[in-house]
Structure 1
Amino acid sequence: MRMFTATLLAGTLAFSASAFAQDKTVVEIAVGSEAHTTLVAAVQAAGLAETLSGPGPFTVFAPVNDAFAALPAGTVDTLLKPENKDQLTKILTCHVVGAEVMSSAVAKLISDGGGTANVETLGGCTLQAKLDGDKVTLTDPAGGVATVTAVDLDASNGVIHVIDKVLLPAS
């Protein structure tokens, strides 16, 4: 539980103070973050901005710009092309849960699961959440591991947890 407090304090620096108004949607909060411009561009290219601005609730595991930059050269540009919209949508929806899952609930799921918890996403991905020291990690179906760096960015239609890696579906 210490991780959630520490990472919330450290991770929220990327967001402007106005981004925390609870009357903003998960999309509006992401738009207000300089660390999530690539995510916002991808959400718009996939046509998901309207959906994720809807009533929800949603939990979004939001990769930072550096996470997208760590993908192989040209990947982001390729995914943003209109002909790759389905693939981009699949990747992005692997970052979204169709419920509001606050950090305390994630910690309880991990504890109740004996150290791991499966998290089902709207994109059909099963993420494995577990503790790595004092941090929560998410392992995607492709075997990639993302670390949660900020939690509980509360929105009017859900919550955002910031991660340091793009989650990918199984190949």
Structure 2
Amino acid sequence: MQSIIKAVALAALLATASTAAFAEASVRVGGAPMYASKNIIENAVNSKDHTTLVAAVKAAGLVDALSGPGPFTVFAPTNAAFAALPAGTVDTLLKPENKGMLTKILTAHVIAGKYSDADLIAKAKETADKGGFTLKTLSGDRLQFTMSGGVLYVVDESGTSSRITVSDVNQSNGVIHVVEKVLVPK
């Protein structure tokens, strides 16, 4: 009887652990499961849609910073977003002599603090009569958040408007929101 009780208890424990692991990895980005127990870098390196972003973060020397405690809110452009830039832009930015410019662009995608999609939408709706609201990025630039047709947009200082395509990808040190365009500071 004792062994049956232990077996049932073990089965229940394994089922709970499997359910928790499944729930944690239920968000997928670039075909890869994203785990809330991993940090931004640990998850981003697995997304096939963010290989350019990961290469840029490495070239800029930002791996340690984005692996740190945060919390951070990252607006992560996809490979397609980088490919939409003028020809040669990414190659130029990845050159060692352009590290400062690359760092500025990448940190213009990061806000200190953790802002969920619901947080951003609520504030954008609340300030809609003023054209939305702004948050300061780690680069010192500002991102504006506006609503249009029930959709949240992020607007950079250059006027580029980007839709968030995947939101609330929770990380151990913040949250990632996937965006369809590269946000460019002035």
TM-score (norm 2): 0.81
Q: Distance in 2 between matches of 1:67 and 1:165?
A: 5
Matched residue count = 158
Q: Residue 73 in 1 paired to residue 87 in 2?
A: yes
For 1:35-66, what per-residue CA distance to the aligned partner results, in whole angstroms no more than 9, with x for missing partners? Answer: 00000000000000110000000000000000
Write the distance in 2 (CA, Å) between the matches of 1:80 and 1:104.
Answer: 34
Q: Alpha-carbon deviation of 1:13?
A: 5.2
- Deviation string, structure 1 residues 123-158 (Cα, Å, up to 9, x no partner): 111111111213211111111111110100000000
Kindly indicate whether the alpha-carbon contact (under 8 Å) linking 1:12 and 1:150 is maintained by their aligned counterparts in 2: no
1:52-111: CA deviations, max 9, x gaps? 000000000000000000001000000000000000000000000010111111011112
Displacement of 1:15 in angstroms is 3.7
Provide the rounded CA distance (Å) in 2 between the counterparts of 1:41 and 1:12: 20
Which of structures 1 and 2 has the bigger CA Rg? 2
Identity of aligned residues (%): 50
| 2:174 is the counterpart of 1:158 | yes
1:35 & 1:65 partners in 2: Cα distance?
Answer: 5
* Match for residue 24 of structure 1 among 14, 18, 38: 38
Letter matched to residue 150 of structure 2: D
User: Secondary structure of the residue that 1:22 maps to in structure 2?
Assistant: coil
Correspondence 1:21-170 to 2 at 5 A: 21-114=35-128, 116-170=132-186
TM-score by length of structure 1 reads: 0.88
User: 2:176, 2:87 → 1: CA distance?
Assistant: 27
Compare relative contact order (CA 8 Å, sep 6+) and give the higher one, 1 or 2: 1
* Matched residue SS, 1:71: coil
| RMSD between aligned residues | 1.3
The separation in 1 between residues aligned to 2:54 and 2:111, in whole angstroms, is: 17
Q: For the Cα contact (< 8 Å) 2:125–2:147, is it kept in 1?
A: no
- Equivalent-residue separation in structure 2 for 1:132 and 1:12 (angstroms): 26
> 5+ residue gaps in structure 1?
1-10
Q: Which residue of 2 aligns with 1:7?
A: none
